[in-house]
Structure 1
Amino acid sequence: MGSLELPPRSTSFIIPLIALIAWKTSTYYAYQRKTRGCSLPPGPEGEPILGHLRIIPASNPEYYYQQLSKKLGSDILSFNVLGQPVIVLNSVEAAVDLLDKRGANYCDRPRFVLFEQMGWRGTLTFLRWGPRFRMHRKILQKSFQKSSIIQYRSLQERETGVLIKRILEAPTEWETIMRRFATAIVLGIGFGIHIENDQDAYIKMSVDASYALGHGGAPAGTLVDFFPFVARLPTWLVPDRSLKFARDWKWAIRQIHDVPFANVKVQVDQGCAEPSLINTLLVERRSKLEKGEPVEMSIEDIKGAAGAVYAAGQDTTWSTLVVFVLNMLLHPEVQKKAQKLIDEVIEPGRLPTFADRPKLQYIDYIVQETLRWCPVSPLGVPHRSIEDDFYKGYFIPKGSFVYANARAMTHDERIYSSPDEFNPDRYVSRSEGGLGEPLPKGHFGFGRRICVGQHLAEASVWIVVASLLSTTTLERWTDPKTGVQDVPIVEVTNGLTSHPKPFKCVFTPRVDKIPSP
C-alpha cells in the first residue's frame, strides 16, 4: 500500500476504478448504520474515497500499527482501505478473544489475488475456509503435530551435523549453509529428497522463493487484492508495482512447487521413492484410483500440500537462525552463559541431541527469545470475518480483513520489560533470578489458522542453536586493515516473511575436531 503513481496509459482505467471505489466506500459506511449504537474500533482520520490507503505505510506497517495502538489507547484498530474494512489486533488478549475463542467466525481468509498472481494456489496458508481447507489441514496436522515430529529427529540431527561440519570448513558461507539445512529438512520430510551439497539446485530454488516471499509485500494489502479485476489487466496499465513483482517472480514460486513434485512422482511411479509426505499422498491416491474409489486430493491439492510444507518450514527456519546469529553478535554475554551450561551437560566429543533438551532449558529460552525479538511473520496472514461481530463495544463488519500484529504482541510493554532488548532470562522464574515473563505468543498465528509446522520449526532451530553454541563461538567480524569491529545494523526485509539484511559473522571453533551427534 502507499501512494499511487499512474502511468501515462492508465487514464482509461481511472473512471471505472473511481466508480468501484465509491461503491465499496458507500457499502463500508452502510455498516456503521447497523452497529446498534456501537462504533468501529478507533483509527486515524482517512481521506475521501481512498480511506487509509495512503496513510498506512507500504513498508513494515506493523510498527505503525503498534505506535498508533499506544497513541489511541486501544488494542484493536480499524481502517478503511478503498472501502474494505481492515481490523488490526495489537494484543494477545484481543487475538485470543476473537481468533481463538470465536474462531468459527474468523477462520476464513480473504482472497489473495496478488499471491495467486505470484503462483501460490492450493496452499493451506492461503486457502479459503471450506471442505478443501479442512482436508489440507487434517493431512498436515497428522504429520506435524507434536507427537508426530519425533520421527523427524534423526533427520534433524543428521543435517545439523552436516551444518556444523560445513560452517567449520567454510564459515564465510554460513548463510548458505543454514539455508541448506532448512531446505534439507523440508524437502526431506515433504519429498524424501536429499540435498547433496551447498550448490544443490534446490538451494538456488529456495533462495529465489525466499526472495519472492520476503519482498512481495503483505498478503491482501495491495490494489489487486481489493479490486481482483485488476489482475486481468496488463502490467503497464496497473498503478501498482507489487503486481509487476508478483508476475516477474511467479516462476520462483511455481518452481518450488513443481520441480521437486515432478521428481518424486517419477520415483513413485518407478517404485523407488523415499518415504515422504508426498510419496504417501501419491500412493494413496493411486491406490484409490485403481480400486475405483473416490479420490479427495487432486494433483494440484498434493502440490499445494507440498507448498505448505515449504512455506511453513524453510524460510521461517532459516530466518530465525539468522536472527539468532545476529543476537549472539550483539549479546556475547548470552552466548557465554549458554556455552557454560552446554559444557556442563554435553561431554566432549559429541554434539547435543534432542535427548539433552530437558537439561538445556536455557537454550529453549534463547530460541523463544529469538522468535519474540523478531517474529519472522510480523503481521502474519489476515483472517476474514464471516459475520458481523461486536467486541468490547466495537463493531467488526462482516468481511473485514483481520490482522494479528505479532510484532506488537511480542513487544508489548505491559507484558515484557524492555521488550526491544534480547534477554532470554526474561523467561526464567523469579525464584531463580529471572523476570518470570510468559513465553511469546502470536508469532505462529491463532485459532484455526495457527501454523501447523510450529513444533517442527522450533525443534529445528533448537538443535542448530545448541550445536552451534557447543562447537563454535560467534564473534563480530573485524576489518583486517583498520582493526575496527563490524557492528551489525538491525534492519529487516518487508514481506510475508521478515529477516535481517546481510551481515558478517566469524565462527571460531571451540573443538579440535568435528564431533558426532
Structure 2
Amino acid sequence: MAIEQLFEAMPLHYLQHGISKFGAANVALAVFVTAALGVLADYGWMLYLRSKMPPGPFPFPIIGNTYYLPDNKPWVYFEQLSRKYDTPLITFWIGRNPTVWINDAWTANELLDKRAGIYCSRPRMLVFAELGAGQSNLVNMITTTQAERDRFRVQRKLMHQGVGIQQVKRYRGFQNDESKVVAYDLLSTPQDYVEHFERYATSVVSIIGFGRRVADPKDPIITEVIAVMHRAADLNVPGKTFPMLLETFPVLAKVPTEIAPWKHGLGRRGGSHRGHDFFYSLAAEANENPGHEDCYAKLLFKEAPKYNLKPQEISALSGNLFGAGSDTSSSTLITAVLAMRAFPETLIPAWEELDRIVGSGRSPSFEDEVNLPYMRAFVKEVFRWRSVAIIGGQPHAPVQDDYYNGYLIPKSTWVQGNVWAIHRNERDFPDPDCFNPGRFMKGSADARPFPGEKGYMTFGWGRRVCSGQALAEQGTWLTVARLVWGFRIEPARDERGQPLPVDIFDYTNGLNMRPNLFKVNITPRSEAIRQTIVREGEQALADLAQFEGETRYRMSTFYSKK
C-alpha cells in the first residue's frame, strides 16, 4: 500500500492525534536541547570569567558556589577562603553572579579609595534596591551614565547639607544633651541600656531630620523603624535561600507576592518600599510645623523646586537618616559596653586620664577630646574591634572593566569589602579579637601602619563612604567617653552570686551586626559622679524641651489604611 493510501485509510481523529503527539514530542525535545545549549553556553562564559578573575571555589552551572555558603555570618567564611587561597581578593559565585570579596585593607584602599572614580557605582540589586529601598535611593544608586552621576551628586550634596562634616558641629548642643540623658536614665534602669542607646541615637537623628526628639524608648518610631532596618539588613546578607536567590533568577520577582513565598517580607508591591510614603509623610508633617526652621525636612522641601526633587527622593533622603544614624550608632554603643565588660583592664588608664582632665564635677565635653588621647584611641578600637557594617555596606560596582595584579574585575561586578577580615588581619592588628586601645596610641608598640588617617574602615570607601560618618564619630566619642567616665561595667551575677560570662563572638547575622543581648551590672563610679549625672541630666531635659512633640504617623498602621 502506498503511503498516501495508508494515510487515507486512517481515521481522521487518529491521524490528528498522532501528528499532535509527534509534534509535542518534537517541541519538548527542541525546548530541552535549547535549554541545555543555553546552560552550556552560560557555564562556558562563567568558566571563562573564572579563568580571568581572582581565585575562588570552582562554580557549578546555574548555582555557582551558592551551595557552600554557611547559614550565618558568611563574612567569616570569606575570610577563611582568603587565607586558603592566600590572596586578598577572592571570587565567589552567588548563582550565576560573581562577587569579588576584598579581605585586606591595602587592597581595599587601592581599589575603592584610590580608584574611586571606577568603583563609584552600585550593581543592579533586585532584593535590596528594586524590591526594597529603591535603586534611585542615594545608597543604592547606579552611576554608569552622566544623568545618573548628576542625580547622585544632587542627592549627595543634599545629604551633606544635612549631616556633612561642617554641619554636624551645629548639632553638638542637643547631641550632648541627649547623651547626658542616656547617663541619667542608666542610673534608674541600667538593665535597659539597649533601649536607652536606641532612644538616644534615634532622637538625635529625629531632631536633625524632623525637629522632634524621641523621649520614650517605647516610641514606635524606634521600635518599628529599627525593626524594619534590621529586616533590611538581614535581606542584604549573601545567602543560599530566598529572597537573596532572586538576584540570580530575577524572573521570579515577577511572580505575584500572594503566591510567591520567597518574596514574603519584602513589603508592598512585592518589595519593601514600605518606608517611602511613611518617611515622606514624616517630612511633610515636619515641614508644616512652625519652628525649627533648620531641620532637614524643611531644607529638602525648600530645595525641592531647585533640584526637581520627587516625593520618593525626599522620602529616601529623610529615611536614610534613620538607616545611617539610629541602628548603627546604637549598635556601636552596645559593642562598647561589651568591650568594657570583656576587657575591664582597658578601663583603668581611661579612668586615670578622665579623672585627671575632667574630674567628677562635670562630664566630658567635645572640647576635652584633644586632651584625652587614650579615650580617642579607645573609641577608635570600638569601631575597629567589631564594626557594625561588617561587609562595608552596599556592594560597589566598577563602571568599566578593571585589572588588579593581573586579575580581571568585570564592569558591574559586585565588589564587597569584608570589614570583618580587614579588621582582623594579623599583620595590621595582632591578636585581633583582643580589645586593645594601644593600637591607636602614637608611639605605642602595638601600633601598625594602616592606609588612611583614621586607622579603620568602618564607614566604607571612596564616593560611597557613609554620609553619616561625621555624626556617628562625633556622637560615639562623646557618649562612650561619658559612659567610661561615669560608670563601672561589671559582670551581672546569677542567683548563686556567680558572674555571668559574655561571648565576644555572639553577634547578630544582619548586614549591620550588633551583640545579642547580654547582661551586665552598670553602676556609677562614685557618689560625686552620680550627683553630677543627675544635675546634668535634669538640665539636659530642660534644654531639650524645645524639641518635644508628637507625630500622628505610625509605620505599623500607616499602610493598613491605604
TM-score by length of structure 1 reads 0.87
**1:42-100 CA deviation, whole Å, 9 max, x = no partner?**
11122233211112324211111111111111111112332222211111221122122
Q: By how many angstroms is 1:123 displaced?
A: 2.7
Q: Is the 8 A contact 1:220 1:226 kept in 2?
A: no
Distance 1:391 1:272 in 2: 53
The match for 1:344 is: 356
The match for 2:499 is: 485
1:453 to 454, 459, 468: 468
Q: Is the 8 A contact 1:367 1:462 kept in 2?
A: yes
**1:327-381 CA deviation, whole Å, 9 max, x = no partner?**
1110111122211211111132212110111111211211111111111111121
Q: Which amino acid aligns with 1:123?
A: N
1:319-358 equivalent positions in 2, closer than 5 A: 319-358=331-370
Distance 1:435 1:218 in 2: 32
TM-score by length of structure 2 reads 0.80
1:366 to 378, 402, 412: 378
Q: Which amino acid aligns with 1:453?
A: G
**What is the CA RMSD across the aligned residues, in angstroms?**
2.8
1:178 to 192, 197, 214: 197
- 2:435 aligned with 1:425: no
Distance 2:249 2:152 in 1: 24
2:265 to 245, 266, 269: 245
The match for 2:81 is: 68
Distance 2:47 2:102 in 1: 21
- 2:245 aligned with 1:223: yes
1:145-156 equivalent positions in 2, closer than 5 A: 145-156=164-175
Distance 1:246 1:300 in 2: 18
Distance 1:118 1:128 in 2: 15
Going from structure 1 to structure 2, the CA distance change for 1:358 and 1:56 (only over 3 Å counts) comes to: same
- 2:141 aligned with 1:123: no
Going from structure 1 to structure 2, the CA distance change for 1:356 and 1:20 (only over 3 Å counts) comes to: farther
Distance 1:197 1:374 in 2: 28
1:462 to 477, 480, 493: 477
Q: Which amino acid aligns with 1:53?
A: T
Q: Is the 8 A contact 1:477 1:485 kept in 2?
A: yes
Distance 1:205 1:274 in 2: 27
Q: What SS class does the counterpart of residue 246 from structure 1 fall into? A: coil
Q: Which amino acid aligns with 1:488?
A: V
Going from structure 1 to structure 2, the CA distance change for 1:81 and 1:264 (only over 3 Å counts) comes to: closer
Going from structure 1 to structure 2, the CA distance change for 1:296 and 1:446 (only over 3 Å counts) comes to: same
1:29-428 equivalent positions in 2, closer than 5 A: 29-31=47-49, 39-116=52-129, 119-121=132-134, 122-129=136-143, 130=148, 131-218=150-237, 222-234=244-256, 240=262, 243-247=263-267, 254-255=274-275, 258-259=277-278, 261-269=280-288, 271-272=290-291, 274-285=293-304, 288=305, 295-380=307-392, 381-428=394-441
Identity of matched residues, %? 30
The match for 1:35 is: none
Q: By how many angstroms is 1:167 displaced?
A: 0.9
Distance 1:357 1:17 in 2: 65
Q: Is the 8 A contact 1:491 1:501 kept in 2?
A: yes
Q: By how many angstroms is 1:472 displaced?
A: 1.1
The match for 2:488 is: 473
Q: What SS class does the counterpart of residue 213 from structure 2 fall into? A: coil
Q: Is the 8 A contact 2:92 2:98 kept in 1?
A: yes
Q: Is the 8 A contact 1:404 1:442 kept in 2?
A: no
Q: Is the 8 A contact 1:25 1:82 kept in 2?
A: no
Going from structure 1 to structure 2, the CA distance change for 1:253 and 1:326 (only over 3 Å counts) comes to: farther
Q: Which amino acid aligns with 2:326?
A: Q
Q: By how many angstroms is 1:128 displaced?
A: 1.4
Going from structure 1 to structure 2, the CA distance change for 1:371 and 1:270 (only over 3 Å counts) comes to: closer
Gaps of 5+ in 1: 1-14, 33-37, 289-293
- 2:460 aligned with 1:441: no
Going from structure 1 to structure 2, the CA distance change for 1:351 and 1:112 (only over 3 Å counts) comes to: same
Q: By how many angstroms is 1:19 displaced?
A: 8.6
Distance 1:452 1:441 in 2: 16
Gaps of 5+ in 2: 1-31, 541-562
Q: Is the 8 A contact 2:264 2:270 kept in 1?
A: no
Q: What SS class does the counterpart of residue 403 from structure 2 fall into? A: strand
Count of residue pairs brought into register by the alignment? 487
- Structure whose alpha-carbon radius of gyration is higher: 2
Q: Which amino acid aligns with 1:254?
A: R
Distance 2:264 2:206 in 1: 29
The match for 2:46 is: 28
Q: By how many angstroms is 1:230 displaced?
A: 1.5
Distance 2:485 2:403 in 1: 52
Q: What SS class does the counterpart of residue 265 from structure 2 fall into? A: helix
Q: By how many angstroms is 1:212 displaced?
A: 1.2
Going from structure 1 to structure 2, the CA distance change for 1:172 and 1:40 (only over 3 Å counts) comes to: same
